[in-house]
Amino acid sequence: MKGLVKTAPGVGNLEIRDLPEPTAGPGQVVVEVAATGICGTDIHIQRGEYACVPPVVLGHEVSGRIADVGPGVTGLKEGDRVTTETYFHTCGRCRACLEGRINLCPERRSIGTHVNGGFARYLLVPAVKVHVLPDSIDDTSAALTEPLACCVHGVLELTGPLPSDVVVVSGPGAIGLLCMQVAKAAGATVVAVGTASDEGRLELAKRLGVDYAVVAGRDDVGQFVRDLTGGVGADMTVETAGAAPSVAQCLQFVRRGGTFCQVGLFGTPVTLDYDLIPLREIRLVGSFAQVPSSWTRALALMADGKVQTRPLVTGQRPLTAWQDAFDAFSTRRECKMVLTPAG
C-alpha cells in the first residue's frame, strides 16, 4: 500500500512510499481508511516544528471500516464503520494516566507521529481505541471526529462555558469553527473573530449558528465585546489560530477573572503582554489533544446535529495529490482538507 511518510526529522522529508499492509495482532484491528483529515499538526511536522519519530506515516483524523480483527477482540467485526482515537500506547501507570489524563502521558505514542497513521489505505490500531459510527455520520464528517474531540476537551471538559456566558473564539479555521459550535452547543453566546482574509469563514461561522462575527483590523472588536457585555468583557476567550496578535486580543477582551483557553499551537516562541494574566486574574487554560470522554461527547454532538463537521471540508484529494492538498491547507485557500487512499 502507499503511505505518506515523514522520512527524517527537519523541514520537508515527506514522500509517498510503498509499505507492507498491516495485519491485526492480539487486541488490534486494521481499519481500511475512508478519509483522513489534514491537520495543522501535519503542517507543523512538514515544517519540522512538531516532534515525531520518523520514518512514520502521518495522519490522525481518520474514518474507515474494520478490515481485519485480531485475536481476542470482541464487539467489533469486519465492515464496521469506525473512527479511532489517536493514542496507540499510553503507560497506564503515570500520574497523568491514573488521573485519566492520558493525553499527558510522557510515554504516549500516537498514530501519525510515533506509529504509522492514516495517510495510507490501512491503519493498525488497538481495538479499544475504535468507536463505531452511527449511520447518521458520513465518512467525511467522521474524519473530523478527532479535531472535534480536541475542541470538546478544551471548551467543554477543561473550561465549560455557562449558557449565560459570552465566549469569544479567535481564529475561524477548522478548529475555531468547531470550538464555536461546541460553545454554542453549551448554550453560550458566541463571537467569532477573524481577519479580513477570513470573511468567507466568518460567513460560514454565522451559517453554523455563531451569534456574531467580527473582523479584527476593520471592526473595533474590543468595543464590540464591551458593548455586548455591558463593558465587562467576555467570560471566556478561546485562541485557535496559534498567532501572537490573536492571543493579544484574547487577553485584551476577556473580562477580569475570566478564562482564556489556548487551543492553537504556534510552533515557535511568541511575545505577549503576560502581565495581563496576574493583573486581571485571568484563568489561563492550556488544552492539548483529547481524552477518551472527548470522543464520546464529540460523536454525540455530531449525531445530535449540534455540531456539523461536513461544511468545514472544502476539499478532498487522493493521497497521491497530498502536496497540493497540504499547500492549499497551509496557505488557507481551503478550510479543511481530507485525503482518500490511493494505491
Q: Which residues bind Zn ion (CB under 5 A)?
A: 39, 41, 90-91, 94, 97, 105
Considering the complex, what minimum distance in angstroms separates the CB of residue 105 from Zn ion? 3
CB of 173 to Zn ion, least distance (A): 12
164's torsion region: left (phi>0), alpha (psi -120 to 50) or beta? alpha
Q: Which is nearer to Zn ion, 105 or 236 (CB)?
A: 105
- Taking the least distance from each CB to Zn ion, the nearer of 40 and 258 is 40
Closer residue to Zn ion (CB): 108 or 255: 108
Alpha-carbon distance values, 311 to 30, 141, 203 (Å)? 28, 8, 12
In angstroms, the Cα distances linking 240 to 21, 176, 261 are 36, 5, 9
User: Smallest distance from the beta carbon of 257 to Zn ion, in angstroms?
Assistant: 31
For residue 316, list its beta bridge partners. Answer: 338
In order of 2, 100, 310, the CA distances from 294 in angstroms are 31, 12, 19
- Return the number of the residue (93 or 333) whose C-beta is nearest Zn ion: 93
Task: Report the alpha-carbon distance of residue 331 to residue 229 in Å, rounded.
Answer: 35
The least distance separating Zn ion from the CB of residue 86, rounded to whole angstroms, comes to 8
Question: If you search the block for the grid coordinates 461536513, which residue do you land on?
Answer: 310
Report d(CA 193, CA 247) in Å as an integer. Answer: 12
Q: Specify whether the CB–CB gap between 203 and 213 falls below 8 A.
A: yes
CA 201 to the chain's CA centroid: 17
CB of 211 to Zn ion, least distance (A): 27
* Cβ-based nearer residue to Zn ion, 105 or 302: 105
Query: Based on CB atoms, which residue is closest to Zn ion, 94 or 216?
Result: 94
Shortest Å, Cβ 251 to Zn ion: 25
Beta carbons of 133 and 109 less than 8 angstroms apart: no
Nearest residue to 264 (alpha-carbon basis) of 102, 93, 44, 17? 44
Nearer to Zn ion, 105 or 213 (CB): 105
Taking the complex as a whole, the smallest distance from the CB of residue 83 to Zn ion amounts, in Å, to 12
